[in-house]
Structure 1
Amino acid sequence: MRPTEIAISSYRSVRRLSMPIEPLSVFVGENGVGKSNLYKSLSLLRDAAAGRITRTIAEEGGLNSVCWSGLRKRGEDGRLRLSAEFDRLRYSIEIGFPAPSEAAFAGEPMIKSESIEATQGKRTVRLMERKNSLVSVRDDSGAWTSHRDAVLPSETALAGFPSARECPEIVLIRNAMLGWRFYHDFRTDPASQLRKPCLAVTTPSLSADGSDLAAALATLYAIRDDTVDLQDAIQDAFPGAELRAWEEGGLCEFDLQLQDMPRPFKAHELSDGTLKYICLLAVFMGYRLPPFIALNEPETSLHPSLLAPLARLIAKASSRADIWIVTHSEQLMEALRSESSVPLRRVIKSKGATTIEGLTLGGEFREEESEDDEC
């Protein structure tokens, strides 16, 4: 299942936002407008599927730090609300502070509600509903079955409900979101795992931290046994260069032969920008791409000459996976528009809240005006 829409309410600088997910979604904006908060809110949905969303919020400073940072209207509860839609299914979660009677640490993030709804024709049917620790599911006959204390207040029903077989949609949505992959940055310092050999284990998709980079590249050589596209991409970014990856003694390694250099350079010898670009090659050219890939400012540390080749990589990969990118690089945005005709999505702040130009209250983007219309 692919995500078709997300909704965010009361997350940091995002007061209320609903937007469609397109095969290639690219958002550009200046520093401080809240681009990263869009990325992080998606990551929180994946954490809900993994059962660690409350821990992630605690690690980020707790609800006081994570919830809407602006002024609230009278009566607003300030709860964090997230939802994701998958074709006919919609998952929603609401997180707030514990009630005085709840067995919880003071200030601990608590799951207040969760739900799964299905669209059947023109009807919307609720299939799972969770209120605090009470989980109720609807069976095939339409009858509800309730499970008291089925999950702890800090656990998601999506990950921890022991009777998920009673509601197969729980498993469908959980597995769909667990397949999402997020890439925020890659460590390229001398001690980085990217610069070291890694275990020779078949690696169809690069891990979030890139620590299995050599194995992901070697998988293309050893398993697919076809690296024409990979070498073409290397040539596009580094004319005259050749990338090699191999397995030896239970470990995978790689090197890069640059044009006019007497010998190839191994990972520990490559510049930060070159190593970062090879990581992005592995992200977008893996043996099997994750169904949904989100990247936060992938242009960081790259020379401007690499942005056009990166745009071509992204555009080509968008036929194999849904890709979601936030960037502050106008040059990358223009290159992506040239390669894929992706519409411009500009992130701005309006009255202190993060929003997107052209996004309607109904969660749809207005059609862009042509240049003739603008004149």
Structure 2
Amino acid sequence: MITTVAISGYRSLRDVVVPLGRLTVVSGANGVGKSNLYRGLRLLASSGRGSLVRDVAESGGLAALRWAGPEHLSRAMRAGEVAVTGTRRRQPVRLLLGVASDELGYTVDLGLPQPDGTSAFPNDAEIKSESVFAGPCARQASLLLERTGPRVRQRDGRTWETLAAPLPADRSILAELVDPRTTPEVVGVRRMLEGWRFYDHLRADPGAPARRPQVATRTWALADDGGDLAPALATIVEQGMGRQLDDAVAQALDSRVEVREVAVGGQGALGVMDVLVHQPGLLRPVSGPELSEGTLRYLLLCAALLAPRMPELLVVNEPETSLHPRLFPPLAQLVADAAERTQVLVVTHAAPLAEALARAGAEHIGLAKDLGETLVEGRGRFETPAWVWPGR
């Protein structure tokens, strides 16, 4: 289970350390940094896919992503006694991402290349350092593997062994050191991050793919846009979770969902599947194009949270979009049931949904903002998980 996520130097997250439980809900007003936390998690997951540097570039580069405030916020600034002003930068630009689990942890430090005028990509982020560690944070005694610049060394008992091949600045150890015999901890971290699943682009608009029939093939996890809703629901039913689906739909929508397959292309050809919703009082079921955005979105969330094969971490961003508040309690129960099978993190700005999740057993993380900096509410110095960022 993931126990801690740490992000520093990313947008409003000047230095945030967040503890995670089996089920965690992050809430706060608009603009406090919830989306930044969510996007930071997505960047961290991209390390496991080997696309971190590219994803940073596609997000605008470090110039657009880095903390825009002063390097240090003094007590006088926080008290309003003096104005917040910029000072000459003394430290290098750093975007730091880190995660700790019950077994292994990982940190990565991104920065800018040296301005020597020889590169065609002077603003492209470079990986300055990485570490893999055991325990709650990357203390020197818990480090298992450490990368500084191109140099990588691995702990061998009480000594360190330098790995022969230097790494290019745009390649992570998670992409390069892939041999489970020689670097099993690195492979373990990569698999952990690759196993995260994110939902924040579930489409319920009139042109959403979920409104159209889809190819009939087993679908173990809903696509990130929800475009394979019908086969995802059919797979849930086939794998013995049809009753949970029926209960969730009946409780929230007072309806029954059906997935119907229609063969195309002649006998033996692959068919397509469509979603139909049976509503009280209607003489025929309602098909995808007729569904309201709220109904379709709730069905998408059912498919995501009842998936037969769950990831190591399931992250859902603003699931309340298009939903009536009366759907929050059944949605909270769906999330709580999913947390019995995997670790779940929900990011929401809807206080009633956060409260419903808290009643269902979620650990609550409230975010606030002070002088442009995102802070975790109600957590002082000794209530924040211990965390250490390795040096470069």
User: Structure 2 vs 1, CA of residues 295 and 181 (structure 1 numbering), >3 Å: closer, same or farther?
Assistant: same
Corresponding residue number in structure 1 for 2:38: 39
Output the amino acid matched with 1:361: R
Return the offset for 1:161. 2.9
Shift of 1:163: 4.7
TM-align CA RMSD: 2.1
Name which of 277, 296, 306 aligns with 1:256. Answer: 277
The match for 1:373 is: none
TM-aligned CA deviation for residue 225 of structure 1? 4.1
* 1:218/1:247 contact within 8 Å kept: no
- How far apart, CA to CA, are the structure 1 residues paired with 2:105 and 2:382? 16
Counterpart of 2:173 in structure 1 is 157
**Superposed displacement of residue 322, structure 1:** 1.0
Q: What is the correspondence of 1:55-70 to structure 2 with a 5 Å cutoff? A: 55-70=54-69
Q: Distance in 1 between matches of 2:39 and 2:304?
A: 19
TM-aligned CA deviation for residue 80 of structure 1: 0.3
Quick one: which of 181, 191, 215 aligns to 1:175? 191
- Secondary structure at the residue paired with 1:227? helix
TM-score when normalising by structure 2 = 0.86
Q: Which 10-residue stretch deviates more, 38-47 or 192-201?
A: 192-201
Name the structure 2 match of 1:137.
Answer: 154
The secondary structure found in structure 2 opposite 1:277 is helix
Q: Does 1:186 align with 2:202?
A: yes
Taking the aligned partners of 1:127 and 1:33, their CA distance within structure 2 comes to 35
Shift of 1:85: 0.5
Distance 1:142 1:237 in 2: 59
Change (3 A) 1:19 1:31: same
Aligned pairs for 1:8-87 (under 5 A) are: 8-73=7-72, 74-87=89-102
The residue number in structure 2 matching 1:111 is 127
Gaps of 5+ in 2: 73-88, 264-269, 386-392
**2:337 equivalent among 300, 316, 328:** 316
User: Structure 2 CA distance, aligned partners of 1:36 and 1:5?
Assistant: 18
Provide the secondary structure at the position in 1 that maps to 2:142.
Answer: strand
Distance in 2, Cα, partners of 1:96 & 1:226: 47
2:348 is the alignment partner of 1:347: no
Q: Please name the residue that 1:198 is paired with.
A: 214
Deviation sequence 1:84-121 (CA, Å, 0-9, x none): 0011322000001112357561200111111111249x
CA contact (8 A) 1:20 1:363 kept: no
1:123 positional shift: 8.1
Cα deviation per residue 1:9-57 (whole Å; 9 max; x = unaligned)? Answer: 1010011011211111111111111111111111111001111111111
Report how many aligned residue pairs link the two structures: 359
- Is residue 227 of structure 2 the alignment partner of residue 208 of structure 1? no
Alignment-mate amino acid for residue 152 of structure 1: P
Change (3 A) 1:209 1:139: farther
In the alignment, structure 1 residue 356 sits paired with structure 2 residue 376? yes
**SS across alignment from 2:360:** helix
CA contact (8 A) 1:245 1:252 kept: yes
Match of 1:328 in 2: 349
Paired residue for 1:243, among 231, 253, 257? 257
Task: Report the Cα distance in structure 2 between the residues aligned to 1:105 and 1:88, rounded to whole angstroms.
Answer: 37
Which letter does structure 2 place at the counterpart of 1:285? L
1:372 counterpart residue number: none
- TM-score, structure 1 normalization: 0.89
SS at match of 1:40: helix
Matches within 5 A, 1:225-244: 225-239=240-254, 241-244=255-258
